[in-house]
């Protein structure tokens, strides 16, 4: 069974602020994206394709025969995934798409997700929502959302290769842009299986998250 890993890392990270996008911020002395790539290198993934901002392509080493390949990303996360997938070519059974800014994914959860994707077609890790969620209008609370059926999506999200390729091609034709690939697969009628996520698999979005990640990293590597 051959697994392709796609890491979209081409965002500008506007919510993080500052000139360095969040996926290149250092965690324990390494850029987050490098940390994530090295974790995937511990698995038996056949190929790891990382979409990065085009101007950075000349700054990375791309060794022939290496499992890691860098490509220029696109305007949106979905465009970056499309570019990475076409650069990888075919011949894979399962594709795992993982945010460059989630350094603490569990390798055993990845295995569970790959198995679930093979069985059901698509799978994502997700957590129940613990906060109360309100809708707002003009800076004021307008409604409280029933959270009993809501989950917060994490990555890695895993798909049978043909399913992700079909969903991305249809989205491209219809100019439909989803915020994650699990949502895209569901939009096109594929069954997406939910696997319990991990509260430590945080998405580093704001500078405060990086401080939390440093603290967690210290605890984790003891
Ligand atoms: O913007 P958001 O936080 O949802 O980004 C999630 C992931 O998608 C990040 O790793 C980001 O670098 C990546 N991304 C990308 N290409 C874009 C926008 C986001 O690869 N155009």
* pLDDT single digits (tens) 118-174: 999 999 999 999 999 999 999 999 999 999 999 999 999 999 999 999 999 999 999
Neighbours of 101 (CB within 10 A): 28
State the total domains in the chain.
Answer: 1
Contact by Cβ (8 Å): 87, 8? no
Mutate to test the pocket of ligand 1, among 7, 8, 36 (most ligand atoms within 8 A of CB): 8
Q: What is the pLDDT of residues 69-97, one digit of tens each?
A: 999 999 999 999 999 999 999 999 999 99
DSSP-derived 3-state class of residue 49: strand
CATH number at residue 185: 3.90.550.10
35, containing H or E segment: helix 32-41
Going from the Cα of 222 to the center of ligand 1, the distance in angstroms, rounded, reads: 30
Domain ranges, residue 47: 3-220
Query: Residue 120 belongs to what H/E stretch?
Result: helix 107-120
Query: Closest residue (by CA) to atom 3 of ligand 1?
Result: 205
Q: Where are the alpha helices (DSSP H) in 133-222?
A: 161-174, 181-187, 207-220
Ligand 1 lined by 74 (C-beta under 6 Å): yes
């Amino acid at each position: 069974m051959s697994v392709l890993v796609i890491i979209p890392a081409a965002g500008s990270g506007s919510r993080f602020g500052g000139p360095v996008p969040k996926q290149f911020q250092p965690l324990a002395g390494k850029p987050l994206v490098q940390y994530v790539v090295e974790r995937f290198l511990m698995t038996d993934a056949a190929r790891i394709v990382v979409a990065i901002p085009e101007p950075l392509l000349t700054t990375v080493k791309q060794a022939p025969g290496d499992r890691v390949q860098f490509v220029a990303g696109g305007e949106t996360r979905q465009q970056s995934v499309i570019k990475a997938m076409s650069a990888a070519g075919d011949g894979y059974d399962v594709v795992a798409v993982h945010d460059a800014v989630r350094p603490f994914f569990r390798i055993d959860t990845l295995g569970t997700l790959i198995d679930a994707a093979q069985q059901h077609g698509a799978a994502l890790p997700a957590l129940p929502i613990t906060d109360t969620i309100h809708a707002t209008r003009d800076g004021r609370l307008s409604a409280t959302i029933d959270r009993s059926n809501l989950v917060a999506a994490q990555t890695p999200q895993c798909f049978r290769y043909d399913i992700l390729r079909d969903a991305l091609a249809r989205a491209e034709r219809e100019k439909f842009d989803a915020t994650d690939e699990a949502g895209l697969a569901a939009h096109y009628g594929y069954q997406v299986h939910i696997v319990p996520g991990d509260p430590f698999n945080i998405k580093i979005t704001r500078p405060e998250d990086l401080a939390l990640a440093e603290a967690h990293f210290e605890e984790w590597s003891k």
